[in-house]
Protein backbone atom coordinates (compact mmCIF):
# COMPACT_ATOMS: atom_id res chain seq x y z
CA UNK A 1 0.00 0.00 0.00
CA UNK A 2 1.29 3.43 -0.82
CA UNK A 3 1.56 6.38 1.54
CA UNK A 4 -0.33 9.63 1.38
CA UNK A 5 0.56 12.61 -0.79
CA UNK A 6 3.66 14.66 0.09
CA UNK A 7 1.64 17.89 0.02
CA UNK A 8 0.99 19.36 3.48
CA UNK A 9 0.12 23.00 2.81
CA UNK A 10 -1.48 24.72 5.77
CA UNK A 11 -3.55 21.76 6.92
CA UNK A 12 -3.63 21.21 10.68
CA UNK A 13 -2.70 18.10 12.63
CA UNK A 14 -6.40 17.62 13.28
CA UNK A 15 -7.08 17.29 9.57
CA UNK A 16 -4.33 14.70 9.21
CA UNK A 17 -5.79 12.74 12.14
CA UNK A 18 -9.21 12.93 10.48
CA UNK A 19 -7.67 11.63 7.28
CA UNK A 20 -6.24 8.60 9.05
CA UNK A 21 -9.51 7.92 10.88
CA UNK A 22 -11.58 8.16 7.72
CA UNK A 23 -9.16 5.92 5.85
CA UNK A 24 -9.56 3.22 8.47
CA UNK A 25 -13.31 3.53 9.01
CA UNK A 26 -14.36 3.96 5.39
CA UNK A 27 -11.96 1.72 3.53
CA UNK A 28 -10.73 -1.25 5.47
CA UNK A 29 -14.15 -2.61 6.48
CA UNK A 30 -15.80 -2.61 3.02
CA UNK A 31 -12.70 -3.89 1.29
CA UNK A 32 -12.23 -6.65 3.85
CA UNK A 33 -15.84 -7.65 3.33
CA UNK A 34 -15.37 -7.72 -0.44
CA UNK A 35 -12.27 -9.88 -0.16
CA UNK A 36 -14.08 -12.19 2.27
CA UNK A 37 -16.91 -12.69 -0.22
CA UNK A 38 -14.35 -13.31 -2.96
CA UNK A 39 -12.63 -15.93 -0.83
CA UNK A 40 -15.89 -17.87 -0.45
CA UNK A 41 -16.51 -17.97 -4.20
CA UNK A 42 -15.27 -20.73 -6.52
CA UNK A 43 -11.74 -20.14 -7.79
CA UNK A 44 -12.98 -19.27 -11.27
CA UNK A 45 -15.15 -16.48 -9.86
CA UNK A 46 -12.82 -15.21 -7.16
CA UNK A 47 -9.98 -14.80 -9.63
CA UNK A 48 -12.12 -12.50 -11.76
CA UNK A 49 -11.21 -9.60 -9.44
CA UNK A 50 -7.51 -9.90 -8.56
CA UNK A 51 -6.37 -8.79 -5.11
CA UNK A 52 -4.16 -6.17 -6.75
CA UNK A 53 -7.29 -4.46 -8.09
CA UNK A 54 -8.76 -4.13 -4.61
CA UNK A 55 -5.48 -2.82 -3.26
CA UNK A 56 -5.12 -0.27 -6.06
CA UNK A 57 -8.67 0.98 -5.48
CA UNK A 58 -7.95 1.26 -1.77
CA UNK A 59 -4.78 3.23 -2.49
CA UNK A 60 -6.74 5.67 -4.65
CA UNK A 61 -9.19 6.42 -1.86
CA UNK A 62 -6.50 6.72 0.82
CA UNK A 63 -4.38 9.02 -1.32
CA UNK A 64 -7.40 11.20 -2.05
CA UNK A 65 -8.16 11.48 1.67
CA UNK A 66 -4.70 12.96 2.12
CA UNK A 67 -5.83 15.91 0.01
CA UNK A 68 -8.66 16.97 2.34
CA UNK A 69 -8.41 20.71 2.93
CA UNK A 70 -6.69 21.59 -0.35
CA UNK A 71 -8.19 24.79 -1.76
CA UNK A 72 -10.58 24.62 -4.70
CA UNK A 73 -9.27 26.42 -7.74
CA UNK A 74 -11.18 26.84 -10.97
CA UNK A 75 -9.04 24.91 -13.48
CA UNK A 76 -6.59 23.76 -10.80
CA UNK A 77 -4.56 20.61 -11.37
CA UNK A 78 -2.10 20.44 -8.43
CA UNK A 79 -2.53 20.57 -4.63
CA UNK A 80 -0.01 23.38 -4.36
CA UNK A 81 -2.03 25.67 -6.61
CA UNK A 82 -5.49 24.26 -5.93
CA UNK A 83 -7.73 21.64 -7.54
CA UNK A 84 -11.09 21.56 -9.25
CA UNK A 85 -13.17 18.38 -9.26
CA UNK A 86 -11.71 16.71 -12.35
CA UNK A 87 -8.27 18.06 -11.45
CA UNK A 88 -8.50 16.21 -8.14
CA UNK A 89 -9.49 12.94 -9.80
CA UNK A 90 -6.86 13.26 -12.49
CA UNK A 91 -4.12 14.10 -9.97
CA UNK A 92 -4.96 11.16 -7.69
CA UNK A 93 -5.06 8.64 -10.55
CA UNK A 94 -1.77 9.90 -11.97
CA UNK A 95 0.02 9.76 -8.61
CA UNK A 96 -1.32 6.35 -7.55
CA UNK A 97 -1.64 4.38 -10.79
CA UNK A 98 0.31 6.35 -13.38
CA UNK A 99 -2.87 6.69 -15.46
CA UNK A 100 -3.22 9.98 -17.32
CA UNK A 101 -6.92 10.71 -17.43
CA UNK A 102 -8.55 13.22 -19.76
CA UNK A 103 -8.94 16.70 -18.32
CA UNK A 104 -12.75 16.95 -18.26
CA UNK A 105 -15.30 15.17 -16.12
CA UNK A 106 -17.36 14.50 -19.25
CA UNK A 107 -14.46 12.74 -20.98
CA UNK A 108 -13.60 10.77 -17.84
CA UNK A 109 -17.23 9.60 -17.64
CA UNK A 110 -16.74 7.66 -20.90
CA UNK A 111 -13.95 5.51 -19.48
CA UNK A 112 -13.99 2.26 -17.55
CA UNK A 113 -16.98 0.14 -16.63
CA UNK A 114 -20.40 1.37 -15.56
CA UNK A 115 -21.12 0.38 -11.95
CA UNK A 116 -24.58 0.12 -10.32
CA UNK A 117 -25.00 2.27 -7.23
CA UNK A 118 -25.41 -0.80 -5.04
CA UNK A 119 -22.02 -2.17 -6.15
CA UNK A 120 -19.87 0.91 -5.49
CA UNK A 121 -16.45 0.24 -4.01
CA UNK A 122 -13.75 2.64 -2.76
CA UNK A 123 -11.87 4.11 -5.72
CA UNK A 124 -14.88 4.16 -8.06
CA UNK A 125 -15.82 7.50 -9.62
CA UNK A 126 -19.22 9.10 -9.04
CA UNK A 127 -20.62 11.65 -11.50
CA UNK A 128 -23.23 14.36 -11.17
CA UNK A 129 -25.03 16.89 -13.32
CA UNK A 130 -24.67 20.34 -11.81
CA UNK A 131 -26.27 23.52 -13.11
CA UNK A 132 -28.03 21.43 -15.78
CA UNK A 133 -24.79 20.13 -17.28
CA UNK A 134 -24.56 16.36 -17.60
CA UNK A 135 -21.46 14.72 -16.09
CA UNK A 136 -20.21 18.16 -15.03
CA UNK A 137 -18.96 17.06 -11.61
CA UNK A 138 -16.98 14.06 -10.40
CA UNK A 139 -15.74 12.66 -7.11
CA UNK A 140 -14.00 9.55 -5.77
CA UNK A 141 -16.11 7.12 -3.76
CA UNK A 142 -14.66 6.20 -0.36
CA UNK A 143 -17.10 3.62 0.93
CA UNK A 144 -19.83 3.83 3.57
CA UNK A 145 -21.94 6.24 1.48
CA UNK A 146 -19.23 8.91 1.27
CA UNK A 147 -17.18 10.43 -1.52
CA UNK A 148 -14.44 13.04 -1.75
CA UNK A 149 -14.54 15.96 -4.17
CA UNK A 150 -13.42 19.53 -4.82
CA UNK A 151 -16.69 21.45 -4.48
CA UNK A 152 -16.68 25.09 -5.59
CA UNK A 153 -14.87 28.42 -5.56
CA UNK A 154 -14.05 29.35 -1.98
CA UNK A 155 -14.32 25.74 -0.81
CA UNK A 156 -11.83 22.99 -0.04
CA UNK A 157 -11.49 19.32 -0.92
CA UNK A 158 -13.97 17.61 1.38
CA UNK A 159 -15.80 14.38 2.16
CA UNK A 160 -19.59 14.41 1.74
CA UNK A 161 -22.47 11.96 1.95
CA UNK A 162 -23.64 10.45 -1.33
CA UNK A 163 -27.19 9.92 -0.08
CA UNK A 164 -27.64 13.62 0.63
CA UNK A 165 -30.72 14.81 -1.27
CA UNK A 166 -28.76 17.20 -3.50
CA UNK A 167 -26.32 14.53 -4.70
CA UNK A 168 -29.02 11.90 -5.17
CA UNK A 169 -31.05 14.34 -7.25
CA UNK A 170 -28.09 15.17 -9.49
CA UNK A 171 -26.47 11.72 -9.65
CA UNK A 172 -25.40 10.75 -13.20
CA UNK A 173 -23.84 7.36 -12.55
CA UNK A 174 -20.61 5.67 -11.47
CA UNK A 175 -17.62 4.21 -13.30
CA UNK A 176 -14.83 1.84 -12.26
CA UNK A 177 -11.49 2.59 -13.89
CA UNK A 178 -9.09 0.44 -11.86
CA UNK A 179 -8.82 -2.94 -13.54
CA UNK A 180 -11.21 -1.92 -16.31
CA UNK A 181 -9.01 0.08 -18.67
CA UNK A 182 -6.49 -1.43 -21.09
CA UNK A 183 -4.84 1.96 -21.65
CA UNK A 184 -5.37 5.65 -21.09
CA UNK A 185 -4.00 8.87 -22.53
CA UNK A 186 -0.18 8.67 -22.67
CA UNK A 187 1.62 11.18 -20.49
CA UNK A 188 3.16 12.95 -23.48
CA UNK A 189 -0.28 13.88 -24.80
CA UNK A 190 -2.05 14.61 -21.53
CA UNK A 191 -1.61 18.36 -21.59
CA UNK A 192 -3.42 18.66 -24.91
CA UNK A 193 -6.71 17.61 -23.31
CA UNK A 194 -9.17 20.44 -22.89
CA UNK A 195 -10.56 21.54 -19.56
CA UNK A 196 -14.04 21.35 -18.12
CA UNK A 197 -17.25 22.91 -19.29
CA UNK A 198 -18.22 26.37 -18.05
CA UNK A 199 -20.61 26.40 -15.11
CA UNK A 200 -23.06 28.88 -16.59
CA UNK A 201 -25.76 28.09 -19.13
CA UNK A 202 -27.57 24.90 -20.00
CA UNK A 203 -26.84 22.53 -22.85
CA UNK A 204 -24.84 19.46 -23.69
CA UNK A 205 -21.11 18.89 -23.71
CA UNK A 206 -19.32 20.79 -26.48
CA UNK A 207 -15.66 20.01 -27.07
CA UNK A 208 -14.99 23.36 -28.67
CA UNK A 209 -16.06 25.48 -25.69
CA UNK A 210 -14.59 24.03 -22.55
CA UNK A 211 -13.30 25.54 -19.32
CA UNK A 212 -12.98 24.14 -15.76
CA UNK A 213 -16.08 23.09 -13.86
CA UNK A 214 -17.53 24.76 -10.83
CA UNK A 215 -20.10 23.29 -8.48
CA UNK A 216 -22.61 25.19 -6.39
CA UNK A 217 -24.43 22.61 -4.23
CA-based nearest residue to 50, from 179, 180, 183, 184: 179
CA atoms within 13 A on the CB side of 95: 23
CA-based nearest residue to 113, from 122, 95, 125, 102: 125
Strands annotated E in 79-186 = 82-83, 113-114, 125-130, 133-143, 146-149, 158-161, 171-176
CA-based nearest residue to 88, from 179, 144, 166, 158: 158
Which position among 55, 85, 170, 189 bears the catalytic label? 85
Beta strands 125-130 and 113-114 are unpaired
Answer yes or no: 170 catalytic.
no
Q: For the sheet containing 125-130, what is the strand order?
A: 113-114, 171-176, 125-130, 133-143, 146-149, 158-161
DSSP 156: B
CA-based nearest residue to 162, from 127, 187, 194: 127
Answer yes or no: 149 catalytic.
yes
How many other C-beta atoms can be found within 10 angstroms of the C-beta atom of residue 58?
Answer: 24
* Residue positions annotated with a catalytic role: 85, 137, 149
Amino acid sequence: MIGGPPFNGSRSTGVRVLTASLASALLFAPLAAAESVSARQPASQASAVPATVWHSAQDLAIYALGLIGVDYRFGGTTPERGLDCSGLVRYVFEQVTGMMLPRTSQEISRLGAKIPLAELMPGDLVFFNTRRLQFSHVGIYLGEDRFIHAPRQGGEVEVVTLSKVYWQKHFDGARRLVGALPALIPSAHAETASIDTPPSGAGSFAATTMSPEQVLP
